[in-house]
Amino acid sequence: MKQFQIYGVGNALVDLDFEVSECTLARLNIAKGVMTLIDETTHHRLLEELDGVKHRRTCGGSAANTLFTAQQLGIKTFYSCKVGNDEAGDFFYRDMVLHGVHTNLHECVRDGVTGKCIVLVTPDADRTMNTFLGATATFSIAQISEIALKQSEYLYIEGYLVASPTGCEAAIHARELAQKHHIKTAITLSDPNMVTYFKDGLCAIMGNEPVDVLFANEHEAMLFTETNSVDAAKEKLRHYARTFVITMGSEGALVYNGHDYFQVPAYPVQVVDTVGAGDVFAGTFLYAVTQGYDYREAADLASFAASKVVAKFGPRLSNAEINEVHDVIAKKVICA
């Protein structure tokens, strides 16, 4: 048995989550609903503009949220990332250790400023992200642990890495190592802007062979395949991935298990904040498939977990919500 079920690579960020109005987005001239890369000066200017607005600080980054979810559910994970030599970097590392996620941070040299993401959540529950990469902009092959990857069932690649030349190179290197050691590869497209501006890089990360699992929302899937419908996109995605999941918000998720397509409905909830929904979905899905569940069961469980995270503010599940997911798992076992 492998030591880790998931080995993840991604941008280590400390998230600053704000609830704002759409008027605030317009005033700050921020594009709504996507991730925009910003420099440190802009980061500080936005914080000044948002001074006095209630917010919360959490450790984040897409892959980190996915691994936290999987780890909370009970499997072992390893995260390769890069933080700065500062209080925020210490905060991120302590959070990893507290939640049992293994990482390269205890053995690597840390320098620079830890990356941060200003997450702006509007009343329609949409999330807009402004990301200062900081130290993670230089995440590179040096942060990849072949030893840990060899001891993993899945490599999970965060698509946001494509925005950094060294990050993209590291993701390609990790995927090549996974192929070398016969480790399954999963990738998320992460954000429409990543597809719009860095599609060639995403294709380079995927390589010449289809990846084992691909995660995308409907907008990303259509942009990536240059189609105008999910039905058209799903046919083209088969050239890039052996299996995939297209999440569609309140419409649930379209799943391809390598043989058949099927749709899993969303669990109806009052949506408060969509930050972390895709990350929690991916973490729960990968947890389930590594525990022997088929794709329909895995997607249904992931849909349930995602419904819990979108019904509140913040990108992670609480211990009580994790217990609710385990209750659903227990019922599935009993029914089986």
Q: What is the DSSP string of 245-260?
A: EEE-GGG-EEEE-SS-
Q: What is the pLDDT along the chain (336 residues), one digit of tens a residue?
A: 899 999 999 999 999 999 999 999 999 999 999 999 999 999 999 999 999 888 889 888 999 999 999 999 999 999 999 999 999 999 999 999 999 999 999 877 788 999 999 999 999 989 899 999 999 999 999 999 999 999 999 999 999 999 999 999 999 999 999 999 999 999 999 999 999 999 999 999 999 999 999 999 999 999 999 999 999 999 999 999 999 999 999 999 999 999 999 999 999 999 988 889 999 999 999 999 999 999 999 999 999 999 999 999 888 999 999 999 999 988 865 554
Q: Is residue 139 part of a domain?
A: yes
Q: Is residue 145 part of a domain?
A: yes
Q: Is residue 279 part of a domain?
A: yes
Rounded-to-integer distance, Cα 68 and Cα 101, Å: 7
Q: Is residue 76 part of a domain?
A: yes
Instruction: Give 131's Cβ-side CA count (13 Å radius).
Output: 26
Q: Is residue 28 part of a domain?
A: no
Q: Is residue 328 part of a domain?
A: yes
CATH number, position 264: 3.40.1190.20
Rounded-to-integer distance, Cα 136 and Cα 116, Å: 10
Under 8 Å between Cβ of 129 and 34: yes
Q: Is residue 117 part of a domain?
A: no
How would you classify the pairing of strands 127-132 and 102-103? unpaired
How is residue 3 annotated by DSSP? S
Q: Is residue 24 part of a domain?
A: no
Look up the domain containing 277 and give its range: 4-11+60-112+133-335
Terminal-residue alpha carbon distance, the chain = 25
- Enumerate the β-bridge partners of residue 68: none
Q: How many domains does the chain have?
A: 1
